[in-house]
Amino acid sequence: MIRYLGARLAQAVGVLWATFTVTFVLLYVLPQDPIVTMLGARGDSSSLDPAQMAELRQVFGFDQPVPLQYLTRLAAALRGDFGLSVQTRQPVLHEIAQALPHTLALAGLALALALTAGVVIATAASYATRPWLRQVLFALPPLGVALPTFWVGLTLSQWFSFRWRLLPAFGTDGFRSLILPALTLAVPVSASLAQVLSQSLIATWRAPHIGLARSKGARRWHVLTHHVFRNSLGPALAVLGLTVGNVLAGSVVTETIFARPGLGRLVQLAVTEQDIPVVQGVAVFAAAVFVVVNLVVDLVQFVVTPQLARPGAARPVRP
């Protein structure tokens, strides 16, 4: 197990390095002149005289050869320095740190909602006995996956804020303004979670040991809580690790709709303004979150499925 974790750790570091490299190539090498790209979005590239361009190029380090730029930026990134934002001239890390608490609050509430809804729906769907109820419950997750996040957000704010005036549609004042964005963000996450969990629950209900427990007289509820549930968690946990990336991506749309500050809004504005350092910083940050969360998920897998810790055991499930 220690060896497996060591390998996973090395893999995680490798993924981060590669993410940095991929985004570097895409953002700094691919565009012909990053300075023109960055200023072009605001349409003032023609108004700049060449001397100013050269000065900017020097400030951002574009006057150096690409391999040297890469090494300097990589070394800086290792210290957490992703350069300056073009719009605000603030360090990118500072921008991320400022935006992070808002997104964490949103993502935390959304994840809590999504976990609750996903687990309840999946468990109820596989536990229910009435055909129509099962049909309805099993149809919910595929529907949830297909809803465009931006449309859910707009429709929610249309009814709850504009029609019924129950909750604020914009801003960040207090918990009430967090409810609609969190609901919006929770829909796709809970749906994909419920999809996997219900499949896994169905498979476990069909396993021989469940039949044995039932034939020995255990009630269905008892079988569910003592035999089925924990055995079905593996795939759902793996998906949960993958969905954290979706929460971050979903926050882009959600924060834009509800005009909330946060990481998603930061990167949305950065792309609109072609603020390359911020885009790269957030992408690498997202990959870091993804990698860390998946490491944690793997650890939890060992707790949930003790068989995995034995030597020669299969590795945790990854869909």
Partner 1 sequence: MTATLDGLELAAPPVQRRGSERPVRPAWPAPRPRRRSARPRPWSALAGAVVLAVVLTWAVAPGWFTSWDPIATSPKDKLLPPGVEHWFGTDQIGRDVFARVVYGSRTTIQATVIAVGIGLVAGSVLGAVAGFLGGRTDSVVMRCVDVLLAIPNLLLAMVVVTALGFGSLNVAVAVGLSAVASFARVMRAEVVRVRASPYVEAAFAGGERTVQVLLRHILPNSWGPVLALSALEFGGAVLAVSALSFLGYGVVPPDPEWGSLIAEGRNWLASAWWLTTLPGLVVVVVVVSANHLGRSVGRWRGERA
Site for partner 1 in 163-192 (CB under 8 A): 163, 169
Interface residue with partner 1, options 186, 258, 290, 308 (CB under 8 A): 290
Q: How far is CA 201 from CA 172, 208, 225, 236, in A?
A: 39, 14, 12, 10
Q: How far is the CB of 239 from partner 1 (least distance, A)?
A: 13
295 binds partner 1 (CB under 8 A): no
Q: How many residues bind partner 1 (CB under 8 A)?
A: 73
Q: How far is the CB of 310 from partner 1 (least distance, A)?
A: 25
Helix, strand or coil for residue 84?
A: strand
Of 108 and 148, CB closest to partner 1: 148
Chain-centroid distance of CA 260 in Å reads: 17
Q: How far is the CB of 47 from partner 1 (least distance, A)?
A: 19
Of 58 and 155, CB closest to partner 1: 155
Interface residue with partner 1, options 105, 115, 218, 271 (CB under 8 A): 271
Of 49 and 132, CB closest to partner 1: 132
Cα distance between residue 160 and residue 139, in whole Å? 25
Cα distance between residue 317 and residue 319, in whole Å? 6
Cα distance between residue 275 and residue 267, in whole Å? 9
Segment interacting with partner 1 (CB under 8 A) among 94-102, 170-178, 286-294, 299-307: 286-294
Q: Helices 131-146 and 92-127, interaxial angle, to 10°?
A: 160
Max CA separation in the chain (angstroms):
85
Identify which of 299, 279, 245, 232 has the alpha carbon closest to the alpha carbon of residue 1.
Answer: 299
Interface residue with partner 1, options 56, 93, 202, 218 (CB under 8 A): 202
Residues in the chain, how many?
319
Tokens of 240: 């949960």
Interface residue with partner 1, options 45, 246, 261, 313 (CB under 8 A): 246
157 binds partner 1 (CB under 8 A): yes
Cα distance between residue 54 and residue 61, in whole Å? 10
Show the binding pattern over residues 18-37: x = contacts partner 1 (CB under 8 A), - = does not: xx--xx--xx--xx-----x
Segment interacting with partner 1 (CB under 8 A) among 47-55, 83-91, 142-150, 298-306: 142-150
304 binds partner 1 (CB under 8 A): no
Segment interacting with partner 1 (CB under 8 A) among 58-66, 73-81, 161-169, 304-312: 161-169
Site for partner 1 in 54-113 (CB under 8 A): none
199 binds partner 1 (CB under 8 A): yes
Identify which of 248, 271, 249, 236 has the alpha carbon closest to the alpha carbon of residue 123.
Answer: 236
∠ CA 71-269-113, nearest 5°, is: 100
